[in-house]
Structure 1
C-alpha cells in the first residue's frame, strides 16, 4: 500500500514539473552582460555562442578585442593539411579572419594576431595586413599586436596612421623614414626581433612618440635609443646581442624603471661607460645576463660618481661571486642607493672557484636605512656571498626578511655549516627573519623572452 502511494506521488510530481514552462535563464541576461561574458572567451568559443539562442546570435560581433592566438591559428592549419601550396594555405587562413572581420559590427579596440607557421606564405599575410589597417582605423583601434610574422623586406606597414596607445611587433621589418614614425597617442611600444630596412636611415629619429611611457626592445639590431624621441619615457626594457662603448641613456633622465640584458657583445670592448650617471629618478633597476660583466669591466669605484637616490628595487641576475670585479660592481650599486628597499640577487649556478680571503671593507659610512627584503637565488655559500650577507645584516636596521635559496650544487653538510655561520652574524634589525626557500624567486623582467630566444 505504501509503495503504491509513493508511485502516485512521483507521478503527480512529474506532471507538475512538465507543466512548468522551461526558462532559458542565460538568454534572459541583459545585453551588456552577455557581451561582457563573450568578451572573456577565446575568439573561437565566442563565435560558437551564436548557436545558444537568437539573443546570443550576434553578441560575439560586438566584442572589442579580437585575439587570434597560436591555438586558433593551429586549429585552422590542422584543417588545411591537405594543401601543399604555402600560398593557398595562407589565403585559406586569412579568409577565416576576414569573415570574422566582415561580420563584426562593433568597435575593434584591440587586435592581436600570432602566426608561426613555416609552411605558409607570410607575404600573403602581410598583404592582407595592409588591407586591415584602414579597417582598424575606422573602428577606433587602440592596441595592435602582430607576432611571428617572419621578416620580409617588402613587408612594411603604416602603423602610424592608427591612433594606437599600445603597439607590439615581432619579427618584422620596419621602415625608417623620419616622417613615418609619428605616434601621437602611443604609451606602450614593444619591438621584438624588429629590424629597420635602411640602416643608414636608422641613424635618424624615426620614432616620434611624445607621450610614450614604456619601451621594450628585444634583439632589435639596427634600432638605437637615439632613434626615439620620447620625452616622457618612464620604463625601458632592453635585451641586446651586443653593446658599444658609446651606449648612453642621455635624454632619458626621467626613467623610473630600467631593465637590461646583454648576451655576449661585451667581450669585444676595451672600455665601458657609466650608463647610470644620467638616471637620477630611477626607482627600479634590473641587470641580467652578461651586463653585470660589462659594467664590471668599467672598474666601478666604491660608489658611483652620481648616486641613485630614488632607487628602491635592485634586481641582479647571473652574477658570479667568484669574480672580484662583479662583486665589487654589485657593492658599488648597493652603496650608491641609500634609499634601497628591496634587493634581489640570483647568482650563476656554475662557478670556477672561490674568493677564499675576500672581505668587504667596512668604511662605516654606508647605512641601508630603508632596506626591508633581501632574496638570494642559487646561493653556494661562497666567501663573497657570506661577506655580503654579513654586510647587509649589519647595515640594515629595518630588514624584515632575508630569503635564501640554496643552489642544487651545494652539498647538504656545507649548507648546514653555512646556515649556522650566518646565524652568528651581528644584525642591526630586531625583527629579522631568515628563511630558506625550496626554489629561487623569479625576478625576470623579460618574461619568456630569455627561454625563447637565448
Structure 2
C-alpha cells in the first residue's frame, strides 16, 4: 500500500512547475497555500499561481487580522509577475478592520498586470490605478452588500482592453455609470444591476457591444425615462427586475436573442412595448413576465423558453404569435398548486391550433415535470396537435420514472399527431446542498 502511495506521490512531484501552477490556480488561494505542508517539493509550488482568490464571506466568522496577515504574506511570497485573475470578496462585518489594506491589495494586483478583477463588498473608494489599468479585460464590481452603494466614478477613466464589465447593486444615476462605460472603447459585454432609476434618459452608445444585461432591483420613483440603445453589433439583450424604463432601440440590427425576466412594471404597457421592440429575435426566454395582450408577431422566432405562471390560454396565444417556432421549452411553469379558478382556462382551447404546431414545431423540452393534472393536460395538448414533432424530452422527478409508477405509461399512451415523434424521459436531479465550513480556513499554511 505504501509503494502505491509513493508512486502516486512521485508522479505528482515530477510534473513541471507550469502544470502544477495551473492546477493550483484553479482553486481558492487558501487551498493552494495549504499544499505547502505536504512535502518539501510542494512547500513553495503555490507561489507560482496565476490566480489569486481571497474570500472571507464563506464559512463561519473569524479574526480579520488572520485574513489580513494571510493576504499580505501571499503577496509577499508570490513569485509570479503576471496575475491572470484577482478575486477579493470582503464581508460587511470585516470590512472596517480591513479597510486600510483593501485598496493596497487591489493596487498590488494591478501592478502584477492583472487581466480579470472580481471585487465585492468594498465600502469606500477604489484605487485610482484601477480606472487606468491597461491590462484589464474583465471587471466585476459587486456593491449589493454595501451601505454606500452610490459611486461617482473618477473623471478620468480609460480601460483600453476592457471587454467585460459587470456592476451589481449600483445605487445612483445612470449618468455616472455611463461615464464609466465611455472609458471602455472595446467593451463587448455589459451587465448593470441598479437599485434605482433617475429622471434623465440613458444613452448606451457602444459600437463594439455584443451582450447587454440590465436589471432593476427596485424602482423608488416613476420618471418614465428612456434607455436609448445605439449598439449596432448587439446580439443578445437581457432585461430583468422591475421594468421602469422605456427602451428606444435606434440601432439593434444584429440582435438575435433576448431574455426578459420582469417581476413587474411601473406602467402597464411597458411589457408589451418591450416585446414589440425585440420581435425580430430568433431566440426568446421569458420568466416572471407580466403578460401583455395583444402580443406582437415574432416572424423570425425559432426557439422560445417560458418560465413562471402562464395560463393555458396565454400559452396558445403566445404560440400563435410564433409562426416559425421550431423548439419550445417549458421550464417549471407555475400552474402547479394553483386552483382552477385562479389558473383561468383549465383546458387548452382545441378549436384553433397555432400554425407552428401544424408545420414547424419539431422539439419540446418540458423541465421539472411533477405529473399532476396540469402537466398531463399540457403534454396531451402538445402531443395531440403538433403534426411534425420529432422529440419530446420530459425531465421528471426520479420517483415518477420507476416502473411501478403510472406516470410513465400514461405519457406513452397519449395519442400523437406526429407519427415520427419520440418521447424521452430524463431525471430531474435537485442540486446537492452545500456543506458549510466549520474550520478556520487560514490556519493551516506554511510560508
What is the TM-score when the length of structure 2 is the normalising length? Answer: 0.69
Which residue in the other structure is 1:10 paired with?
none
Pair 215,329 (structure 1): closer, same or farther in 2 beyond 3 Å: farther
1:110 to 75, 85, 94: 85
CA contact (8 A) 1:38 1:63 kept: yes
Alignment of 1:94-243 (within 5 A): 94-106=68-80, 107-118=82-93, 120=94, 122-123=95-96, 125-147=98-120, 149=121, 152=123, 154-158=124-128, 159-162=130-133, 163-171=135-143, 173=149, 175-177=151-153, 179=155, 182-196=158-172, 199=173, 201-202=175-176, 204=178, 206-208=180-182, 209-218=184-193, 220-222=195-197, 226=202, 228-241=204-217, 242-243=242-243
| Consecutive unaligned residues in structure 2, runs of 5 or more | 4-8, 218-241, 435-447
CA contact (8 A) 1:360 1:387 kept: no
Shift of 1:143: 1.0
1:428 maps onto 2:418 in alignment: yes
Which residue in the other structure is 1:299 paired with?
293
Shift of 1:100: 0.9
Shift of 1:140: 1.5
Which residue in the other structure is 2:307 paired with?
317
What is the TM-score when the length of structure 1 is the normalising length? Answer: 0.68
Shift of 1:308: 3.2
| Consecutive unaligned residues in structure 1, runs of 5 or more | 1-16, 18-22, 81-88, 443-447, 449-454
Q: How many residues align?
A: 382
Counterpart CA distance in 1 for 2:375 and 2:15 is 64
- For the residue of structure 1 that corresponds to 2:294, the secondary structure is coil
Which structure has the highest strand share of the two? 2
Q: What root-mean-square deviation, in Å, do the aligned CA atoms of Structure 1 and Structure 2 show?
A: 4.2
User: Which protein shows a greater Rg?
Assistant: 1
Pair 174,331 (structure 1): closer, same or farther in 2 beyond 3 Å: same
Deviation digits for residues 311-367 of structure 1, max 9, x if unmatched? 43x221112326x4x4355335xx426153352332113313251464055366434
Alignment of 1:257-406 (within 5 A): 257-263=257-263, 265-266=264-265, 268-272=266-270, 273-279=272-278, 282-289=281-288, 291=289, 293=290, 296=291, 298-301=292-295, 304-309=296-301, 311-312=302-303, 314-321=304-311, 324=313, 326-327=314-315, 330-332=318-320, 335-336=321-322, 338-348=324-334, 349-353=336-340, 354=343, 355-356=345-346, 358-360=348-350, 362=352, 365-366=355-356, 367=358, 369=360, 371-378=362-369, 386=377, 389-391=380-382, 393-395=384-386, 397-403=388-394, 405=396
CA contact (8 A) 2:36 2:45 kept: yes
